[in-house]
A and B are shown apart, each in its own frame.
Chain A
Amino acid sequence: MRRLVYLSLIVLLIAASVNLQSQAAQSAPFSIQAPVELQPALSALYKARYNAEPFFVERDGDLIATDDPAFLPSGMGGVPPHFLPEAFFLLARPNAEAEAFVAYAVSADGQAALIEGGFLPKSVTVTDQAGNTIEVVQPVRRVITPYSIATYLVYGVGGSSRLVAGGYLGTRDPVGAARMTALDPRFPTLSGYTLNQREINIEQVAQLAPDLIITSARTAWLDTVRELNIPFVLLQGESPELLKQSVLLVGQLLGPNTAARAKAWIGYYDAILAQVVARTQDITERPKVLFVGESPLRVISGEMYQTDIIAAAGGQSVSAALKGYWNDVNLEQVALWNPEVIVIAPYGKITPQTFAESPEWAIIKAVQDGKVYKMPTWIAPWDTPVMDSVLGVIWLAQKLFPGRLTLDCAQEAMFFFKVFYDHDLPADEIAAVCGS
């Protein structure tokens, strides 16, 4: 009799637990499939979000959390959202609640929950590109980027939700401003401050209460902002190696997801450069390229990033011996260089037409051959040290070696903006931009 009671009790218990489990399955909005070692971190996240325990399954979950690189999309499929430095989410099937959870996991709040649970560090210590070592408390919720290049890096690594104010480039042009608003509806607010490398309204900054400032190493007002005790990180990315460094730096400062995106971009950049090299290494005579700014006789120096873009695309800059910033030259010097290709910076008002119509420029080979091109731009100018410059390399390599590359500017631009800016480009427009 007693045995029977025990047995029935056990049966009841089992039934209850099964019932409980199915009840949990019914009440939890989605199931998570994750290896055991990731479950504590996920529980912490889930508790912070729903104040409940997550519903883990062994297979066929709605949401997959993993640290297995085999799950990473093969090739150029994009960067999945990372909640820990090596662990990321994959959505097995459409589920709005799971998607919201993923968004929460990579947000500052999600990062804070993981820090509280001890799964992420309380602060990161970085050495910036001016050589300063800075400790930045995590998560960074309010970042300001007076240096426009830094603004675009924050967008490119997927950290724009943490941005409270920033400097932008080329947005005084209505087309540029419209594109920026399409990318980020908050753009009019974010850009509405006195904020650039030369000047800053310190009271406005104090009111914005940023917990991080990312700016250029050549910023004029650093001493003023030191008084506010806000950590600042200085960037100086005027070469491919330094650019990669600055992308990684910005990524690391804003959490594991942005760090993963920064690393993915570095991989993409290296792969593109290697591909151009592979396709053009048998060419002994590098095409001579003249890169001009906003007037036909204003050319780049060898110290500017554009020189590296030309080199990466397989050409050589004729004005590489010049020093400093933009240089004014005369046509005799251009005739001495006799460039085979002329590239016009995206932001100038001059066009290939300007050269074609000038009787003086008719003596230059690039003009005679009709090889004068204006570099495209979409969000940030493709010739500046931003992540978009990889598109500048692809575009220029295509112009320098037509038919030699399998890369296509429009296609890569679509991919690049989707993956790194989370932004879908209008296909016809980007094709037109690339073709120009």
Chain B
Amino acid sequence: MRLITSRAWRRDAAAVSSFRRQLAYSSLLLPIVLILLSLLLGLYNIQPQTIVKALLSLIFPQAAEGISATELTLILRIRLPRVLAAALIGAALAGTGAAFQGIFKNPLVDSNLLGVTSGAGFGAALALLLGGTALMVQGFAFGFGLLAVMLAYMGSRLYSSAPLIVLTLMGILIGSFFTSLTALTKYVADPLNTLPAITFWLLGGLTGVTWNSVPLLAAITLSGSLFLWAVRWRLNILSLGDAEATALGMNPTRLKLLIILCATLMTAAAVAVGGVIGWIGLVIPHAARLLVGTDHKQLMPMSLALGASFLLVIDNISRTLLPAEVPLGILTGLVGVPILIALLRRSQTVW
């Protein structure tokens, strides 16, 4: 009797796990569909067949015939880079959020835990204060994001062993240090021109995205996502605890360092292009967990796909709802917080 039950349970478990696997992998199609749909949306009214033709013209240049220069520019130079950037940034923030929640064994963290976003925010504010170009702002944001995490990590090494709690504490300290520096930058910024620029940047938005910003973002996000995907089953072991991981023949410290480095690069690249966009790294992994469970083998692809889709939808609202753009940081917060509350209440999942 007991044996049969056990078999039945295993069969069921296998069925659930296979369903979840299928769900996780098929979810990867969602961002692709959404990217295509998002190209149809915009304040400027463009016929769908024109959009298809414009996209085809990337491969067959003669397909662009009969399309006005305005429409062609809007589709290929404005909408396309922007939806790609939205998908990449969403995937990066959600994927790194899932990874951080796994290695820190804490459901309430995202990739800003070690101060990368605060550092990047300060870098961008500093570049704006110095009157830098868009490229300089992105470079500074990226560089200071990495610097913040490096400082947090080095700070935690001051202790002979580096338990996660010290690293977390250092991350929070460094993060608030850079937040104060950002406040200082705003304080000394010229209220006429620099201050509004800093404020808008800190709220996040993809208004100014062109092809210039996409290549580096794509390279870092795609290779980073591949890495996170490759270590997805190791994340399962890491989330059991260091002792278990060591017992299973892994070097948890080195692996964590690699994951943190990868997540930091991805987040810094995302923040450098899109500004500070909150909540995605926190909320999306929970939504993904609700759908596919806590197994990182499914959770990681699901988080990446949901993150990309969520930011695509949010950015579509941001760029089409009103003539003026609604900052992404505001929309993700307004939509993300109720979702998180609902999920935390309904979900009985073990984190």
Given A322-B324, A363-B73, A363-B74, are A295 and B208 neighbors across the interface (CB < 8 Å)? yes
Q: Is B338 an interface residue (CB 8 A)?
A: no
Is the Cβ of B77 less than 8 Å from the Cβ of A359? yes
Measured between beta carbons, the chain B residues less than 8 angstroms from A294 are 193-194, 196-197
Q: Is A321 an interface residue (CB 8 A)?
A: yes
Cβ contact of A326, chosen from B73, B196, B208, B319, cutoff 8 A: B196
Is the Cβ of B327 less than 8 Å from the Cβ of A172? no
Is the Cβ of B190 less than 8 Å from the Cβ of A172? yes
> How far does the alpha carbon of A196 sit from the alpha carbon of B43 in the complex, in Å?
39
Cβ contact of A347, chosen from B79, B192, B327, cutoff 8 A: B192
Quote the shortest CB–CB distance from A167 to chain B (angstroms): 9
Measured between beta carbons, the chain A residues less than 8 angstroms from B197 are 294-295, 298
Is the Cβ of A169 less than 8 Å from the Cβ of B192? yes
Q: Choose among B70, B208, B323 the residue with the greatest number of A CB atoms under 10 Å from its CB.
A: B323
Measured between beta carbons, the chain B residues less than 8 angstroms from A424 are none
Quote the shortest CB–CB distance from A347 to chain B (angstroms): 5
Is the Cβ of A328 less than 8 Å from the Cβ of B73? no
Quote the shortest CB–CB distance from B187 to chain A (angstroms): 9
Q: Is B351 an interface residue (CB 8 A)?
A: no
Is the Cβ of A336 less than 8 Å from the Cβ of B190? no
Q: Choose among A169, A296, A358, A363 the residue with the greatest number of B CB atoms under 10 Å from its CB.
A: A363
Is the Cβ of B73 less than 8 Å from the Cβ of A359? yes
Measured between beta carbons, the chain A residues less than 8 angstroms from B190 are 170, 172-173, 347
The count of residues in chain B whose C-beta lies closer than 8 Å to any C-beta of chain A is: 29
Q: Secondary structure of the A side of the interface?
A: loop
Is the Cβ of A329 less than 8 Å from the Cβ of B210? no
Quote the shortest CB–CB distance from B227 to chain A (angstroms): 33
Task: Give A206-253 interface residues, CB cut-off 8 Å to B.
Answer: none
> How far does the alpha carbon of A295 sit from the alpha carbon of B196 in the complex, in Å?
10
Is the Cβ of B78 less than 8 Å from the Cβ of A329? no
> How far does the alpha carbon of A328 sit from the alpha carbon of B324 in the complex, in Å?
6
Q: Is A327 an interface residue (CB 8 A)?
A: yes
Contact with B along A260-297 (1 / 0, CB 8 A): 00000000000000000000000000000000011111
Measured between beta carbons, the chain B residues less than 8 angstroms from A328 are 200, 205, 207, 324-325, 327
Measured between beta carbons, the chain A residues less than 8 angstroms from B210 are 358, 360
Contact with B along A354-367 (1 / 0, CB 8 A): 00001110110000
Cβ contact of B74, chosen from A296, A297, A331, A345, cutoff 8 A: A331
Given A297-B207, A297-B208, A363-B73, are A330 and B325 neighbors across the interface (CB < 8 Å)? yes
Measured between beta carbons, the chain A residues less than 8 angstroms from B323 are 319, 321-322, 327, 329, 333
Is the Cβ of B43 less than 8 Å from the Cβ of A332? yes
Is the Cβ of B324 less than 8 Å from the Cβ of A360? no
Q: Is A335 an interface residue (CB 8 A)?
A: yes
Is the Cβ of B78 less than 8 Å from the Cβ of A331? yes
Interface size range of chain A in the complex: 35 or more
Q: Is A349 an interface residue (CB 8 A)?
A: yes
Give A331's nearest chain B residue, CB to CB. Answer: B78
> How far does the alpha carbon of A358 sit from the alpha carbon of B333 in the complex, in Å?
33
> How far does the alpha carbon of A381 sit from the alpha carbon of B191 in the complex, in Å?
13
Measured between beta carbons, the chain A residues less than 8 angstroms from B43 are 330, 332-333, 336
> How far does the alpha carbon of A272 sit from the alpha carbon of B131 in the complex, in Å?
36
Task: Give A338-389 interface residues, CB cut-off 8 Å to B.
Answer: 345, 347-349, 358-360, 362-363, 381
Contact with A along B55-99 (1 / 0, CB 8 A): 000000000000001100110011100100000000000000000
> How far does the alpha carbon of A325 sit from the alpha carbon of B193 in the complex, in Å?
13
Is the Cβ of B207 less than 8 Å from the Cβ of A329? yes
> How far does the alpha carbon of A348 sit from the alpha carbon of B196 in the complex, in Å?
11
Measured between beta carbons, the chain B residues less than 8 angstroms from A358 are 210
Cβ contact of A335, chosen from B74, B191, B200, B208, cutoff 8 A: B74
> How far does the alpha carbon of A345 sit from the alpha carbon of B190 in the complex, in Å?
14
Quote the shortest CB–CB distance from B130 to chain A (angstroms): 10
Measured between beta carbons, the chain A residues less than 8 angstroms from B194 are 294
> How far does the alpha carbon of A173 sit from the alpha carbon of B191 in the complex, in Å?
12
Give B133's nearest chain A residue, CB to CB. Answer: A349
Q: Is B44 an interface residue (CB 8 A)?
A: yes
Give B191's nearest chain A residue, CB to CB. Answer: A196
Task: Give B188-237 interface residues, CB cut-off 8 Å to A.
Answer: 190-194, 196-197, 200, 205, 207-208, 210
Cβ contact of A298, chosen from B42, B191, B200, cutoff 8 A: B200
Given A294-B196, A335-B70, A363-B74, are A327 and B324 neighbors across the interface (CB < 8 Å)? yes
Is the Cβ of B325 less than 8 Å from the Cβ of A349? no
Measured between beta carbons, the chain B residues less than 8 angstroms from A336 are 43-44
Given A170-B190, A298-B196, A363-B69, are A332 and B324 neighbors across the interface (CB < 8 Å)? no
Quote the shortest CB–CB distance from B141 to chain A (angstroms): 16
> How far does the alpha carbon of A345 sit from the alpha carbon of B193 in the complex, in Å?
9
Contact with A along B32-65 (1 / 0, CB 8 A): 0000000000111000000000000000000000
Quote the shortest CB–CB distance from B95 to chain A (angstroms): 27
Measured between beta carbons, the chain B residues less than 8 angstroms from A321 are 323
> How far does the alpha carbon of A328 sit from the alpha carbon of B208 in the complex, in Å?
10
Contact with A along B313-351 (1 / 0, CB 8 A): 000000100011101000000000000000000000000
Further contacts, 20 of them, CB under 8 A, given A325-B196, A331-B74, A332-B74: A297-B207, A297-B208, A322-B324, A326-B196, A327-B325, A328-B200, A328-B327, A329-B323, A330-B82, A332-B319, A333-B43, A333-B44, A333-B324, A335-B44, A347-B192, A349-B131, A360-B210, A363-B69, A363-B70, A363-B74
Q: A residues near B, CB below 8 A? A: 169-170, 172-173, 196, 198, 293-298, 319, 321-322, 325-333, 335-336, 345, 347-349, 358-360, 362-363, 381
21 A-B residue pairings within 8 Å (CB atoms): A169-B192, A172-B190, A196-B191, A294-B196, A296-B208, A297-B208, A326-B196, A328-B325, A329-B323, A330-B207, A332-B42, A332-B74, A332-B78, A336-B43, A336-B44, A347-B192, A360-B77, A360-B210, A362-B73, A363-B73, A363-B74
